[in-house]
Structure 1
Amino acid sequence: MKFSKYHALGNDYIVIDPKDLNENLSDAHIKAICDRHFGIGSDGILFGPEKSDNCDFALRIFNPDSSEAEKSGNGLRIFSRYLWDQSLVAHNEFTIETKGGIVNSIVGDKGLSVSVGMGNVRFTHESIGEPEPRPETINVKGHEFTYYLANVGNPHCVIFLDDVNPSLAKEFGNIIENDPRFTNRTNVQFVKVIDNESIQIEIWERGAGYTYASGSSSTAAASVAHALGLCDSNINVQMPGGIINIKLNDQFFATMTGPVRKICDGDVCSEALNSL
């Protein structure tokens, strides 16, 4: 099975083109490929391009636990770079259909930077949006957190704190992700506001765990920060892996811009696919 591997600020994905497969991509295959000890290792699989009736391309996104994600900001930037590397796009805007909605993408800087229009952010996990973020509370291991919901095509739980660190995300992220109130689980962001133009976040990603960076998490955290009046509409989001820029208009349409780097191309041996 042929693959290409990329990372966006340390958030790594494997791209598998459906035309290169001789069999279906099973749950067991996804888990084996993403495993960092028995497989190639990644934060997920980008399965595409597939045909779309509404867009230039369609993309399916799988988490390491084989669950299917609606959308991934870093995944979309990586997929856009892959399309550019395959000479399927140039530097003109193109559209990609995901389970979490349609996005528009532009590849720049000789493939090293990609901008993605992530769509309008909703302050809810439901299909009907809320006009502004509403505070709610959750108690985890004796700690009470105030959180805000956001939907970027996938669900997010945004928590503001005076200080954030990886230990916070690793200790509380999994419990919050799987809390029964979040019927489809949730991504979790722990956020520190630095100034009007920058925030710092630590991320627990649904189906993947602790990650160095996330485009959709950056979008969700920046949108809530702006809606609450904590930041302006042009926000640099600092993560362990680096910085993503989020720009928001008056309707909270979010445009994300950040770097992408290619790691390698290769083949997955059939014996590795069956190792788990």
Structure 2
Amino acid sequence: MTPLLLHKYHGLGNDYLICHRDIADRLTNEQIQILCHRHYGIGSDGLLIDSGDQIHPTLRIINPDGSEAEKSGNGLRIYARYLFDIGRVGHQPFLVHTAGGDVCCTVHDDSHQITVEMGQANFNPAALPALLDLPEALNYPLKLKDETLSVSLVSMGNPHCVVPVDKLDLAQVYRLGPQIENHPLFPRRTNVQFVEVVDRATLRIGIWERGAGFTTASGSSSCAAASVMRKLGRVDDRVNVNMPGGQLRISFRHNFQVSMCGPVHKIASLTVDEDCFSAAITQK
């Protein structure tokens, strides 16, 4: 039997397992959840599946709860570094296909640094989707159980709800993140960012990721937060986004075309023992 070979990388502490589709095809959804579990499996913020052929890199992204994400900025940087490590790409820009759209990636001479052209920020609620008949939802009053928040919605190929705050409080992220993720306004749930504007070139954000919960860093969340603050006129075209895991550099071109640059580090290549799957997860 072919071993279950996986690789583990992280981008600013946002860690992913990655494998070829030949391996992923042997895994059930429950087994993927076990692999991502911090105690029952290897532990990760999701599984990246190399689904394309040698010429057309294609990325699928499975969240720790077994749901599938359209796009992930950190996941794309990790996938780009993985393709570089196995010799499929070099330092020239290359295209990656995702369910959230095609993106261009570049592995720099220092292979730790990866740039991803994330595409155009889309402020139409239908793109998330969100159940609002509006062309844009900026500073929208979102009613929660015990309070109403002013939020702004944007799609980066995946859904985001951005919450401006005067001072970032990670306890608030944990408390309100699940309510916003699962709000009826978002039929496919949403990613959530709480954003503090430090100055016109600097943001601090806390992230509640759809299907994963609190995470130390997120590329698409950084792009979403920066895009909303740029749309609201609170930052300029180059923005450093600071998260608990570290910093990403976001820049804008015409029509809100978003570019993201940041680090990736490889943790391990490992073979999974199938005994890992012999007991079901009793508590997730």
Shift of 1:49: 4.0
TM-superposed deviation, 1:141: 3.8
TM-score by length of 2: 0.92
Q: Which residue of 1 aligns with 2:15?
A: 12
Mapped partners of 1:117, 1:57: distance in 2: 15
Contact 2:136 2:153 in 1 (8 A): no
Offset from partner CA, 1:190-211 (integer Å, 9 cap, x none): 0000001011000000000000
Q: Which amino acid letter does the alignment assign opposite residue 5 of structure 1?
A: K
Letter in 1 for 2:213: G
After alignment, is 266-275 or 85-94 more displaced?
Answer: 266-275
SS in 2 for 1:207: coil
Contact 1:125 1:155 in 2 (8 A): no
Q: Show the 5 A alignment for 1:39-188.
A: 39-51=41-53, 56-127=56-127, 134-188=138-192
CA apart distance, 1:164: 1.0
1:204-232 CA-partner distances (Å, limit 9, x unpaired): 00000000000000000000000110000
Q: Distance in 2 between matches of 1:202 and 1:128?
A: 20
SS class of match (1:117):
strand
Listed one character per residue, the Cα deviations across residues 96-147 of structure 1 (whole Å, up to 9, x for unaligned) are 0000000000001431000000000101342499876522112334222100
Q: CA deviation at 1:250?
A: 2.0
Q: Which aligned pairs between 1:183-198 and structure 2 lie closer than 5 A?
A: 183-198=187-202
* Structure 1 CA distance for aligned equivalents of residues 169 and 32 of structure 2: 30
Query: TM-score with structure 1 length normalisation?
Result: 0.95
Q: Distance in 2 between matches of 1:179 and 1:133?
A: 15
Q: Which amino acid aligns with 2:30?
A: A
CA contact (8 A) 2:12 2:263 kept: yes
SS for the counterpart of 2:171 is: helix
Counterpart of 1:180 in structure 2: which amino acid?
Answer: P
Mapped partners of 1:34, 1:73: distance in 2:
19
For residue 255 of structure 1, the aligned residue among 234, 256, 259 is 259
Report the counterpart of residue 247 of structure 2 in structure 1: 243
Amino acid at match of 2:80: S
Of residues 22, 26, 37, the one that matches 2:28 is 26
Q: Which amino acid aligns with 2:37?
A: D
| 1:167–1:128 Cα change, 3 Å | closer
Structure 1 distance, partners of 2:150, 2:89, is: 43
Structure 1 gaps of 5+ residues are: none
Partners of 1:195 and 1:65 lie apart in 2 by: 36
Q: Does the CA contact (< 8 Å) of 2:128 and 2:159 recur in 1?
A: no
Task: Provide the rounded CA distance (Å) in 2 between the counterparts of 1:139 and 1:87.
Answer: 50
Identity over aligned pairs, percent: 44
Give the SS at the match of 2:115: strand
Deviation of the 1:57 alpha carbon: 0.8
Structure 1 residue runs of 4+, over 3 Å off?
A: 127-133
Please tell me the residue identity of whatever aligns with 1:263.
Answer: I
Contact 2:9 / 2:78 at 8 angstroms: preserved in 1? yes
Contact 2:125 2:135 in 1 (8 A): no
